[in-house]
Amino acid sequence: MTALRLADKETAMNDKLKPLREQIDAIDAQILDLLNRRAQVAQEVGHVKAETNAPVFRPEREAQVLRGVADRNPGPMGNAEMQTIFREIMSACRSLEKRVTVAFLGPAGTYSEQAVYQQFGTAVDVMACASIDEVFRATEAGTADFGVVPVENSTEGAIGRTLDLLLNTPLTISGEVAIAVRHSLLTGSGTMDGVTAICAHAQALAQCQIWLNNNYPEIERRAVSSNAEAARMARDDHSVAAIAGERAGVRYSLGTVKANIQDDPHNRTRFAVIGTLRTGPSGIDRTSMALAAPHKAGSVYRLLGSLAQNGVSMTRFESRPARNGNWEYYFYVDVEGHIENPAVAKALEELQGNAAFFKVLGSYPVSLT
Ligand SMILES: C=C(O[C@@H]1C=C(C(=O)O)C=C[C@H]1O)C(=O)O
C-alpha cells in the first residue's frame, strides 16, 4: 500500500517534471546555437586582428564585458556565477582566435594557478614554474604569452621578490586578479589520526597560526616549498597533514579535516598579470609605478603632491630597500585611473620630474573581485 502510494507520488512528480525538462531542453538548444554564433563572431574578430598582428587577449574588453554582465543581470542567477559563466565563454571564444600560454608559480593546485583560471578562464595552456623568477624569465623569453605572479597578501603584506623583479623587467603589468585565500586542513584520511606534522608554505602557516595554536598546538609545523607540495606529501604519507586550498585537496584526493582555518576571514592575495601587452583603458583602471625619491628634505612629500594636485587617488604605497646598503628605498605606488587619462598622465609627468628613479609598471583594469 505504502509502496504503491510512493510510486503514485513519483509518477505525479514525473508528470510535473516532464514539461519543465522539455523547457530546459528547448532553452539549452537556443543557448547552444547562441554560443556558436558568438564563437563565429569571435573567429571573425580573430581574422581582423591577424591582419594587423594585433593582440588576441584584450583584458580591458573582457573586463567591460564582465562588468556589463553584472550591471544588466536581472537574476535570479547571481552576478558572480554569471561572471564565471561568461569568463568561460570568453575563454572558449578567445581560444578559437589563439590559445594563450600562461606561466605561474607552480606546482599545479596553487592559488597562483587558481588566479590564472580566474583571469583567463580554463581554455588556456598553463606552464607551472618553480619560482617567481622563472615566471618572469619564461614570459620575457616569450615561452609564455603572460605570467601570473603574486604581488601582495592582505595579511602578510608585499611579495618582495615580485616587487624586485618588476623593477628591471621589460614586461608590463597587463592585468590584476585578486582571490580570496581560503586554507583547509587536509589529510589522506580526512581525519587527524596518526598525524605527526602539519606542512604548508611558511606564508600559509603564518596565516593560520592562531587557529593552529588553538586546535593543534602539540603537532609539529613544517614549512615546505608550497601548499601544493604539502598536499602531495599528505597524499603519499598519512602522518602528514597539509594546509592548502580545496583545489589542491581535490587534485591530490585528500579529505578535509576543517575548511576555512585562516585567521583572517578576509584574507586575499593580489596577483599581477605580466606580459608585453599594454592594456588600454577599460573605464575602471589602476596604474602601478615604482619610484625613488632624491635625498632631499621633503622629496617624498613633493612626489606625492603631484598626485594630490591633479586629483589622482593613491590606493597603495609600499617601500622596499634599494639593497645598496645606503638606507635608500624604492616606493611602489598604485593610483586610480589609466595612464591615458589626462589627469593621471599629467600627475605622472610631474612626479617623474621630481623623482630620482621612475618607472611605470603598467595600467590595467581593476580586478572584479
Ligand atoms: C573577441 C575578442 O577577443 C577576445 C575575446 C573576447 C570575448 O570573447 O568577448 C573579448 C576580448 C578578447 O580577449 C575581442 O577582442 O573582442
Over the stretch 199-236, which tens digit does the pLDDT of each residue have?
999 989 999 999 999 999 999 999 998 899 999 999 99
Is the peptide bond preceding residue 265 cis, with omega within 30 degrees of 0? Answer: no
Over the stretch 145-160, which tens digit does the pLDDT of each residue have?
999 999 999 888 899 9
What's the mean pLDDT in 34-56? Answer: 96
Ligand 1: which atom is nearest the Cα of residue 93?
8
For the chain, domain boundaries: 2-58+72-94, 99-181+268-272, 184-258, 279-365
Alpha-carbon gap, residue 196 to 194, rounded angstroms: 6
- Residue 3 clears pLDDT 70, i.e. is over it: no
Cell matching residue 30: 537556443
pLDDT of residue 294: 82
Nearest CA owner, ligand 1 atom 4: 94
Task: Check: CB of residue 61 under 8 Å from CB of residue 81.
Answer: no
Over the stretch 97-134, which tens digit does the pLDDT of each residue have?
999 999 999 888 888 999 999 999 999 999 999 999 99
pLDDT of residue 2: 63
Active site residues: 269, 271
Nearest CA owner, ligand 1 atom 5: 94
Query: Does 184-258 match 99-181+268-272 at the fold level?
Result: yes
What's the gap in Å between 41 CA and the centre of ligand 1? 10
Q: Which of 180, 139, 164, 155 is nearest to 271 (CA)?
A: 180
CATH classification code of 184-258: 3.40.190.10
2-58+72-94: CATH superfamily: Chorismate mutase (1.20.59.10)
- Residue 327 clears pLDDT 80, i.e. is over it: no
Q: Over the chain, what is the mean pLDDT?
A: 95
Q: Give the neighbor-by-neighbor strand order of the sheet with 285-292.
A: 314-321, 329-336, 285-292, 357-365
CATH classification code of 99-181+268-272: 3.40.190.10
Percent residues over pLDDT 90 in the chain? 86
Q: Which CATH number fits domain 279-365: 3.30.70.260, 3.40.50.2300, 3.40.190.10, 3.30.470.30?
A: 3.30.70.260
pLDDT of residue 330: 93
Q: How is 90-149 classified by DSSP, letter by letter?
A: HHHHHHHH---EEEEESSTTSHHHHHHHHHH-SSSEEEEESSHHHHHHHHHHTSSSEEEE
- Residue 7 clears pLDDT 70, i.e. is over it: yes
- Residue 322 clears pLDDT 90, i.e. is over it: no
Coil, strand or helix at 237? coil
pLDDT of residue 324: 78
pLDDT of residue 203: 85
pLDDT of residue 92: 98
Cell matching residue 296: 632631499
Over the stretch 242-300, which tens digit does the pLDDT of each residue have?
999 988 999 999 999 999 999 998 889 999 999 999 999 999 999 999 999 888 888 88
Pick from 44, 47, 64, 94 the residue to mutate for probing ligand 1's pocket: most ligand atoms within 8 Å of its CB. Answer: 94
With a Cβ cut-off of 6 Å, ligand 1 is lined by 42, 45, 57-58, 61-62, 65, 90, 93-94, 97
Pick from 34, 97, 98 the residue to mutate for probing ligand 1's pocket: most ligand atoms within 8 Å of its CB. Answer: 97
